Structure 1
Amino acid sequence: MRTTLFGLCFLLFVYKATSVSIVDTDNELVGNQEGAYYLIPASNGLSGAIGVATVGNDSSPQTSVVLDTLGNGLPVRFASFWIDSTISTGRLLNIRFVTSAPELEWWEVEEEFPIGWTVKLSKTAIMTMGRFRIEAVKDSYKFMYEHERTETGVTMAELGLVRTGVHYRLVAKNGDPFIFKIKKATGGNPRFKSIV
């Protein structure tokens, strides 16, 4: 028992020593369960940002997408199980849109043929440790998704973009990740928009 507890403490120490604080475009620390932030593309030749759209068999806007015409997009909030007031790389997260439609705001990943594992919006709040992580890419960031947990380890996948019609959909895949910067959202209460 003492050995197990020591091992756990050691792993936590190693994690804290190797994680890096995440900052927004103003070089300010990104808050844990507070604040709202836009995810602005830093690659892929896009000028838009993350939002939601009605895609495929959706009965309402519930698929995460990037569109050139979206402006700053919809703001998100990061929620980590850790008690720290800020977010660091490698930390398991829940992510949700900060919208006026709280019943459809939490990110989750669902398999959708033939696209693959697509980021959709959940109708229920997620109270677990989450399965998303943020990793640094030079002066920007990318998302990782914990695709599978088994006794032998964890399988991770990057979140990237797949073009379907006019939409760039956010999907869990490896290669060509969605690279973004985090911009603080200020002023006003964002409205939930249907983007067709």
Structure 2
Amino acid sequence: MKVNLLALFFLLFAFISAKAGPLVDTEDSPIRNGGSYYILPALRGLGGGVSLAATGNETCPLTVVQTINELSNGLPTRLSSPHRIAYLRTDFNLEFTVVAPPKCAAQPAKWTIVGGDDEIKQVKLAGYEDTLRGSFRIQTYRGLTYRIVFCSTDEDSCSALGISKDDKGHKIFVINDDDPFIVVFGKAESSAE
């Protein structure tokens, strides 16, 4: 009986570990905590990596967007988690690692979700008053592709990030469970080893 119980415990642990396994980059290397990575679309041909743009009434770039140029990697992003290696189902801080973030942005240039009840919830740099409380997580989509989700502490739920075009053609990161933005992580040259 003890052997069966031990075997069952081992199988359960293996199943849970597989579901919460390490994230890997496009080189099949584990993503390192604090490392810099380009967040790229898993399907090429529809735009490039993640960057910043001034949208709406903004006077400087504070909105997280997908670049229109599919050859652009966008800006390197630091993924910070409580672990040395980034695992699925872990809370992350995401922040751009550009040498000089916009002067109008809070430092460091961390991502946050902004928007009221009736507004589209957009991903912007920290510093806005109407930010939602919560954290970002990364979930497996298919194979070695991922989707980024935002888990709200107020609603106790997670929603995927997707893309929404504004009237100026910006591809803005927004909460969009119906059409998630599927990504891969490309190692930036300054990535921690």
TM-score range, shorter chain: 0.7 to 0.9
The answer to whether residue 73 in structure 2 is matched with residue 72 in structure 1 is yes
Residues 53 and 73 from structure 1, CA distance in 2 versus in 1: closer, same or farther, beyond 3 angstroms? same
Q: Secondary structure at the match of 2:154?
A: strand
Q: Identify the range of structure 1 (40-49 vs 159-168) with the bigger mean alpha-carbon deviation.
A: 40-49
Q: Secondary structure at the match of 1:174?
A: coil
Alpha-carbon offset, residue 43 of structure 1: 3.5
2:50 touches 2:66 (CA, 8 Å); kept in 1?
Answer: yes
Q: Secondary structure at the match of 1:69?
A: coil
Alpha-carbon offset, residue 59 of structure 1: 2.1
- The 2-side partners of 1:26 and 1:136 are apart by 16
- The 2-side partners of 1:15 and 1:108 are apart by 29
- The 1-side partners of 2:45 and 2:157 are apart by 29
- The 1-side partners of 2:17 and 2:38 are apart by 26
Alpha-carbon offset, residue 173 of structure 1: 2.2
The answer to whether residue 50 in structure 2 is matched with residue 46 in structure 1 is no
When normalised by structure 1's length, the TM-score is 0.75
Aligned positions, number = 166
1:94 touches 1:130 (CA, 8 Å); kept in 2?
Answer: no
- The 1-side partners of 2:180 and 2:23 are apart by 18
- Correspondences of 1:14-29 after superposition (within 5 Å): 16=17, 18-29=19-30
The one of 153, 160, 163 aligned to 1:161: 163
Structure 2 residue identity aligned to 1:52: L
Structure 2 residue identity aligned to 1:133: R
1:48 touches 1:68 (CA, 8 Å); kept in 2?
Answer: yes
- The 2-side partners of 1:45 and 1:115 are apart by 29
Structure number, greater radius of gyration: 2
Alpha-carbon offset, residue 113 of structure 1: 8.8
Structure 2 residue identity aligned to 1:160: G
Structure 1 consecutive aligned stretches of length 4 or more whose deviation exceeds 2 Å: 13-18, 101-104, 112-115, 147-150
1:43 touches 1:178 (CA, 8 Å); kept in 2?
Answer: no
Structure 2 residue identity aligned to 1:179: I
Instruction: Tell me which protein shows more strand as a share of its residues.
Output: 1
User: Quick one: percent identity of the two aligned structures?
Assistant: 30
When normalised by structure 2's length, the TM-score is 0.76
The one of 174, 180, 183 aligned to 2:183: 180
Q: Please, what is the CA RMSD of the aligned residues?
A: 2.7
- The 2-side partners of 1:112 and 1:55 are apart by 17
Unaligned runs of 5+ in 2: 1-12, 102-106
- Correspondences of 1:37-186 after superposition (within 5 Å): 37-43=37-43, 45-69=45-69, 71-80=72-81, 82=82, 84-102=83-101, 103=107, 105-111=109-115, 116-123=120-127, 131-138=135-142, 139-149=144-154, 154-164=156-166, 165-186=168-189
Unaligned runs of 5+ in 1: 1-12, 188-196
Q: Identify the range of structure 1 (109-118 vs 175-184) with the bigger mean alpha-carbon deviation.
A: 109-118
